[in-house]
């Protein structure tokens, strides 16, 4: 008998609530009553899914999301290792193999952006052109012109975006730059204002901020699984995904480049970036009619207290440069070095990696344990195949959609998967690199929820002749699931239905 009591009570409660609601509606509604004969009957029960659509349909939407992602992971090659984390407003919706380590690829740039944000500020970088305050300026009585007897110094401050207009213009809005042209033109105008038309000396490039200078990491070695291995292979370096590194870098350290983006291997690297930068300035001075008696070189500038500054260029704020790191490996690698400086260490790669391992990653709010080999930070750009990350670690970098990691992710229209998905609310960073692919991103769903996700896949047997490319099947299926969520029934399907006549 007892088992029949509860259903009866619930029915009475529902009926009572419905009656009270109908009475309240009648009191509020000032319109005249409609003839009952004109009112269609309802086939939908009083306790309708439309009256509680969220708790009825949300589990269906969540199940559709997780089922689609599960199927996407199951459809990869049998040897492919995968992981996934999907969250919604802090709630875990889907997870698999979250602690396993994967090659990081360009996702490493996201990690670099997060760590530099912890020690940086709005201040960026400064580049100066100056000469020593005790340098003699000699007036030629015959011509009325003056010559500067001594060297002019181009002093680097580690600005990764210092570039000429013809180099920077190829990138559109992907990156922010500091105008080398404006820096040079201001110095030329200042020399001309002083009547100086010749320099009896050299243009000297000073990159001493990052000492000792490491132009790349091919010669750097670390221990990996008991073996001494190079941080970068010569083949990785020669892809020119990252240019030569220096505290004085112009045009990413490239002496020449193709007209169109997308063919990095055709860039020509400078063997000495600081000397190359001095050469660019030397050419600008000569073109402006200021002759220089000796060839460009490198060296240390006089102390700040012993300088006459001809020109001073400040970069955009650091938070703007951080966004450029996702699109450019050289910027990411330069910020990696700058992290070493701003955290109280040095710009040497090994020093930065050590600082991060002993606490820098944890301070940045990332789930890291020094004994966990699933996460390894070797460089800033992700060029090294020794970098490792996990879905858990990667997802944590963007789980708070107000954080720097989430906010710098490009809108899908500006991403490398723009051709295969459209969704105005989606922010995503996609990687397709040899045998590794993945996605990390977030979106605001139509009902205002924040959906965050990280997916990684590695195929160790994928041949070099058939690398992953963006818009591959895994990326497509995962993005379709994410952008469709919440895939709930149309409200009209849940509305009361008129009784059809017999």
Assigned domain for 30 exists: no
Reading the block at residue 462, the tokens are 């994928």
For residues 233 and 120, what is the distance between their CA atoms, to the nearest angstrom?
30
- Whether residues 413 and 297 share a domain: the answer is no
- Whether residues 311 and 326 share a domain: the answer is no
- Whether residues 259 and 333 share a domain: the answer is no
- Whether residues 251 and 152 share a domain: the answer is yes
Give 458-484 pLDDT, tens digit per residue.
998 899 889 999 999 999 999 999 999
pLDDT score, position 55: 53
Contact indicator for 396, 365 with CB cutoff of 8 Å: yes
pLDDT score, position 493: 52
pLDDT score, position 486: 83
For residues 103 and 82, what is the distance between their CA atoms, to the nearest angstrom?
12
Beta-strand runs (E) in 302-412: 307-314, 388-389
Give 214-249 pLDDT, tens digit per residue.
899 999 999 888 899 999 999 999 999 999 999 999
- State which of 287, 315, 343 marks the end of a domain: 315
pLDDT score, position 290: 98
Reading the block at residue 204, the tokens are 């000297």
Reading the block at residue 411, the tokens are 């809108």
Assigned domain for 98 exists: yes
Assigned domain for 31 exists: no
> Which CATH number belongs to the domain containing residue 187 in this structure?
3.50.80.20
For residues 172 and 151, what is the distance between their CA atoms, to the nearest angstrom?
36
For residues 329 and 253, what is the distance between their CA atoms, to the nearest angstrom?
12
Assigned domain for 328 exists: yes
Residues 6+ apart with CB under 8 A from 480: 68, 421
Residues 6+ apart with CB under 8 A from 251: 163, 164, 167, 180, 257, 280
Reading the block at residue 405, the tokens are 């990691």
Please give the residue range of the domain that contains residue 278: 126-210+246-315
Domains: count for the chain: 2
- Entry pTM: 0.84
- Whether residues 132 and 74 share a domain: the answer is no
Q: Which residues of the chain have pLDDT under 70?
A: 1-57, 121, 487-502
Reading the block at residue 210, the tokens are 């990052």
- Give the Cα-Cα-Cα angle 312, 277, 382 (nearest 5 degrees): 100
pLDDT score, position 207: 96
Beta-carbon count within 10 A of 98 CB: 18
- Whether residues 107 and 256 share a domain: the answer is no
Tokens 């965050």: give the residue: 452
- Whether residues 361 and 454 share a domain: the answer is yes
- Whether residues 327 and 466 share a domain: the answer is yes
- Whether residues 364 and 418 share a domain: the answer is yes
- Whether residues 354 and 472 share a domain: the answer is yes
């Amino acid at each position: 008998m007892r088992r029949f009591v509860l259903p009866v009570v619930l029915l009475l409660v529902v009926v009572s609530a419905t009656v009270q609601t109908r009475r309240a509606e009648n009191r509020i509604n000032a319109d005249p009553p409609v003839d009952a004969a004109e009112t269609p009957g309802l086939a939908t029960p009083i306790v309708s899914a439309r009256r509680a659509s969220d708790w009825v349909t949300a589990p269906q939407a969540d199940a559709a999301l997780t089922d689609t992602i599960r199927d996407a992971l199951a459809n990869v090659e049998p040897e492919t290792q995968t992981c996934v984390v999907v969250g919604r407003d802090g709630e875990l919706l889907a997870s698999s193999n979250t602690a396993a380590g994967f090659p990081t690829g360009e996702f490493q740039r996201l990690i670099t952006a997060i760590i530099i944000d912890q020690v940086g500020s709005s201040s960026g970088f400064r580049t100066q052109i100056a000469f020593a305050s005790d340098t003699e300026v000699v007036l030629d009585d015959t011509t009325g012109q003056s010559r500067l007897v001594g060297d002019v110094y181009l002093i680097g401050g580690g600005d990764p975006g210092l570039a000429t207009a013809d180099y920077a213009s190829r990138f559109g809005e992907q990156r922010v730059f500091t105008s080398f042209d404006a820096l040079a033109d201001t110095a030329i105008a200042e020399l001309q204002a002083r009547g100086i038309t010749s320099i009896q000396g050299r243009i000297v490039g000073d990159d001493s901020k990052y000492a000792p200078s490491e132009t790349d990491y091919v010669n750097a070695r670390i221990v990996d699984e008991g073996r001494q291995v190079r941080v970068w292979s010569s083949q990785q370096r020669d892809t020119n995904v990252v240019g030569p590194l220096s505290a004085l870098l112009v045009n990413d350290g490239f002496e020449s480049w193709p007209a169109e983006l997308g063919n990095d291997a055709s860039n020509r690297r400078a063997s000495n970036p600081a000397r190359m930068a001095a050469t660019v300035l030397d050419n600008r001075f000569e073109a402006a009619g200021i002759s220089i008696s000796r060839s460009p070189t490198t060296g240390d500038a006089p102390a700040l207290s012993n300088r006459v500054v001809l020109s001073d260029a400040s970069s955009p704020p650091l938070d703007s440069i951080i966004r450029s790191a996702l699109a450019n490996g050289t910027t990411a690698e330069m910020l990696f070095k700058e992290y070493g400086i701003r955290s109280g260490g040095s710009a040497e790669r090994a020093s930065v990696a050590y600082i991060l391992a002993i606490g820098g990653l944890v301070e940045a709010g990332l789930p890291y344990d020094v004994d966990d080999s699933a996460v390894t930070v070797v460089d800033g750009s992700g060029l090294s195949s020794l970098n490792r990350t996990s879905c858990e670690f990667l997802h944590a970098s963007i789980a708070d959609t107000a954080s720097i990691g989430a906010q710098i992710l490009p809108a899908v229209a500006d991403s490398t998967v723009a051709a295969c998905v459209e969704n105005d609310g989606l922010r995503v960073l996609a990687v397709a690199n040899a045998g590794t692919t993945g996605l990390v991103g977030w979106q605001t769903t139509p009902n205002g929820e924040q959906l965050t996700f990280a997916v990684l896949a590695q195929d160790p047997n994928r041949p070099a002749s058939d690398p992953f490319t963006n818009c591959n099947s895994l990326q497509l299926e995962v993005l379709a699931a994410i952008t469709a969520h919440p895939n709930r029934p149309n409200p009209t399907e849940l509305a009361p239905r008129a009784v059809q006549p017999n």
